[in-house]
Amino acid sequence: MKKTTIMGILNITPDSFSDGGDYYDNPQKALERAQQMIKEGADSIDIGGESTRPGSESVDAQEELRRVIPVIQILKQHFGNDVLLCIDTWKHDVARETLEAGCGMVNSLGGFIFDEKLAGVVATSGCDFIMYHSTGKPKTMQQGDITYANVIKEISAFFEEQIMLGKKHGVKKEQFIIDPGIGFGKTVEQNIEIIKNLKVLETFKLPIAIGVSRKSFLGMILKDERNIETKPTERLEASLAATAIAVQNGASVVRTHDVWETKKFLTILDKFT
């Protein structure tokens, strides 16, 4: 049976769009949430110390480390090597220290475009590396007129460039996992187009990750099509619908806030695909 893997989202921030403040400055509560997600079926835990919601402010590396290191330490003490921990960061020094603390994967906004030194850290560690596409940093990525001549072709070109850059620093192609970055510098229509045409990215012969969980473009569709107003926590069904199309079109790694519901959903979907 096919198995689509699940990454449980654990944000250690005060300002993430859905769970901001829930686990900020509280490693014990973060551990309890991680335990719950693993019990529910998460294959890995994706830990973020800097919000990437549209309009969010960046934080420096020391603040990011202050947030995540205690959480990584307590998770590592509890799970040992039984659970894969992933750090969501684009900063090379945050990646280096969190990998040393026990993470085994890096999930990076923009790949190496915001910090080329990250490539050397990934090469040295040999860790898996998810790169998710973005045209800019969160503070400004959704501002202005967001245009692409061909969004899928431009995302493909981005991945080609990042893989070549990584190889220059010693990163092996098999370390890469590609993510089109739904919601990162894209309009609602562009997000839909990407998910509908995700199969184009299979030409890279690399795992494809997708993150649509609770995102605002789903809320915008519900508002426009059915006049339904939703908070992020009220977008489960919409998230699963978008996930279904993405998985059918090639995604094999799903990032989600709602692990238990996604696990049940993917169990059935994988049986039929």
Q: Which one of 3.30.470.10, 3.40.630.30, 3.20.20.20, 3.20.20.70 gives the CATH number of domain 5-272?
A: 3.20.20.20
Going by pLDDT thresholds of 50, 70 and 90, the confidence category of residue 56 is confident
Note the pTM of the prediction, 2 decimals.
0.95
- pLDDT averaged over every residue in the chain: 95
Can you point out the beta strands (E) in the chain?
5-11, 44-48, 84-88, 105-109, 128-132, 176-179, 209-211, 253-256
pLDDT at 136: 85
pLDDT at 140: 73
pLDDT at residue 1 above 80? no
pLDDT at 213: 97
Range in 34-43, 47-56, 169-178 with the lowest mean pLDDT? 47-56
CB neighbours (10 Å) of residue 82?
Answer: 7
pLDDT at 53: 81
> Measured between alpha carbons, how far apart are the two ends of the chain, in Å?
9
Given the residues 33, 67, 186, 255, the one annotated as active site: 255
Is 214 part of the annotated catalytic residue set? no
pLDDT digits (tens, 9 = 90+) for 94-116: 999 999 999 999 999 999 999 99
Given the residues 215, 226, 235, 263, the one annotated as active site: 215
CB neighbours (10 Å) of residue 1?
Answer: 5
Going by pLDDT thresholds of 50, 70 and 90, the confidence category of residue 135 is confident
Going by pLDDT thresholds of 50, 70 and 90, the confidence category of residue 18 is confident
Phi, psi dihedrals of residue 7, rounded to the nearest 5°: -105, 120
pLDDT at 122: 98
pLDDT digits (tens, 9 = 90+) for 179-210: 999 999 999 999 999 999 999 999 999 999 99
Is 271 part of the annotated catalytic residue set? no
Burial bucket for residue 114 (CB in 10 Å: 0-12, 13-18, 19+): middle
List Cα–Cα distances, 140 to 50, 179, 185, in angstroms: 15, 20, 8
pLDDT digits (tens, 9 = 90+) for 245-269: 999 999 999 999 999 999 999 999 9
Going by pLDDT thresholds of 50, 70 and 90, the confidence category of residue 139 is confident
